[in-house]
Structures are given as structure tokens and as C-alpha cells.
Amino acid sequence: MIEFYMVFQLIPVKMDFKKTFNSLQKISPSLGALIAFNFISKPQKRKIRPFEKSILEIAKHSTINFNKFKIKSYQWGNGKKKALLVHGWGGRASNFGAIIPILIENGFQVISFDGPSHGESSKRKTSFFEMADLVKLYLQNNNYDLIMTHSMGSVLAFTAMNSLKYKAKKMIVLTTPSKFSEFIDLAILKFGLTKETTKLLINKLKKTSTEYNPISHKVKDVINNIEIKDITFIHDISDKVIPLKRSKLVSSYFSNSKFIEIEGTGHFKMLWSKKVIKIVESLINN
């Protein structure tokens, strides 16, 4: 099985991935589940953009030990107010590179990190809930005036906040799924998993946490202990990764939330959109 997996890794990208994978999982559903699990457990490293390089050059870099990982941590600015930025799955702290200067200009000390096996942190298998535990560690070490999250990082931040019975002053959510299983659905779609392979994948995912069930984990279930004075959701109506209705659903769980619909930025581009930057500046000034 190990040799077969190594051969699969050597298949050229130009080949029809789904067709090849479909043939493989018919031969061995367990191997198909293993490959999909490894894909999820080892986030793909994305190309770093010029504005990300620029923001990393002016950051104060440090490294912390966490669950056998060397976690890369960053700090920008020396303002009296503190902001924690939580990137999405497969992301990195520098994804917020276009937003960070605005926060600094408005008196924030900005803190962020590359999650386990993300960015410049050390690489090995990780899980969603391991990142939630890391967010929890950062929340315990500082009091933040602003928490900003993107994509799956939003779910993980809510999970960490709930376990701490956290009281937040202001939160800006740049898209969020409403439940963990939506990410699994993306993996199923990417690989074209059969029912048998999906079942085996789910069994593997269940073993990644003794505290949470990845399949039934929903945002609705992890906000009961959270108190947020001011929370705003921003979501692009053309987001092809997370549908608008998911963020709207999560927003509805908070009686005091504001929801801002934008257009023309998609899921990732919103992080460096001038439109979003202006909205963020307006929110932190209010």
C-alpha cells in the first residue's frame, strides 16, 4: 500500500486527477481515504504575494513551541490596542498583509501566527482542532480589542473562544462556514470520493480529536459561552468556496451582529481588496 501511495504522488499534475483517483479508490477505498486524509492534514502551501513579503519584512518574528510544532508568530506596531488575526485553513498570517497597515495606523499592535503546518511553521500532520487549541493559547496570553478571522479560521476561533467563555470587545469575521462538515464536503468534491471512501475518511477524521466530533461540529453549538460586544460579518456574494448563506446563518446566531455583503472579491481576494480595507477602517474607527 505504501508503495502504491508513493506512485500516486508521482503522477503528473497534467493528468486527469479525478479520473486517476477514482480508479485508485475502486482498487483500494482505504488508500483513497488515506490520500484524502493526508491532503486535509497537510495544508497546501500557497504562493506568497508581494504585499505579503513586504508585511513580513517589517514584522517582529518569534517562535513558540506548541504540540511538537515550531509556531511562527508575528507582531506589528506598538499601539495600545491589540488585534489578533486568525487565518483560514491553508492560509498564513501574511494573508492579512494589506489590512495590517490600516490597523497599525489606527493604533493597534497586531499579533498573528502561521498555524500548525501552515506558512513558516514546522510541517507535519495536523488537525483543525489543533489549530483551535493554538488560537486558545493566544487568547489566554493577551486581552484583545479586536479579533479578525478569515474562512475556516472563524470556526476555529469561535471554538477556542467558547471553551474559554471569552468576552470579546470587537470581532470582524471575513467569511465563515457554519459547520465543520462543509470543509469535508469540499474534499469530497475535489477528490470525487465514493460513499465507501468517504466513510473511511470520516472515521479517520473522528480520531483527530477526543473533545470534538468533526462531523457534527457546528458553530451554533460553540457560541453559547461567547460574549461579543460588536461583531460584523463580511462576505462576498460571489464567494465560490463558502456560500453567502453560511455566513448569514452564523450571523443570525448573534443578536447584535452586523452583516455586510460585498461583490467582486471572491473568497481570497477580499483579504487585499481596497473595498474591504475601507470597511475594516470604518469599523475599527467606530
Binning pLDDT at 50, 70 and 90, where does residue 16 land? low
Binning pLDDT at 50, 70 and 90, where does residue 11 land? very low
Phi-psi region of 90 (alpha: psi -120 to 50; beta: other; left: phi over 0): left
Residue 231 scores a pLDDT above 90: yes
Look up the pTM and report it.
Answer: 0.87
Average pLDDT for 114-121: 95
In this predicted model, what pLDDT tens digit does every residue of 44-99 receive, in sequence order? 777 889 999 999 999 999 999 999 999 999 999 999 999 999 999 889 999 999 99
Long-range contacts of 201-206 (CB under 8 A, 24+ apart): 201/33, 201/36, 201/37, 203/33, 204/33, 204/34, 204/37, 205/37, 205/40
Binning pLDDT at 50, 70 and 90, where does residue 21 land? confident
Check residues 253 and 2 and name the one with the higher pLDDT: 253
Residue 22 scores a pLDDT above 90: no
* Chain Cα centroid distance, residue 214: 15
Residue 176 scores a pLDDT above 60: yes
Binning pLDDT at 50, 70 and 90, where does residue 189 land? confident
Check residues 191 and 224 and name the one with the higher pLDDT: 224
Residue 241 scores a pLDDT above 70: yes
pLDDT at 194: 87
Angle at 123 between CA 166 and CA 87, to 5 degrees: 35
Check residues 182 and 158 and name the one with the higher pLDDT: 158
Share the mean pLDDT of the chain. Answer: 88
Residue 271 scores a pLDDT above 50: yes
Average pLDDT for 239-250: 94
Binning pLDDT at 50, 70 and 90, where does residue 246 land? very high
CB atoms within 10 A of CB 155: 29
Amino acid at 52: E
Could you tell me which of 195, 86, 179 has the C-alpha nearest to residue 137?
86
Average pLDDT for 243-248: 95
> Do residues 223 and 162 lie in contact, with contact meaning Cβ atoms separated by under 8 Å?
yes
Average pLDDT for 139-155: 95
pLDDT at 145: 97
d(CA 199, CA 269): 34
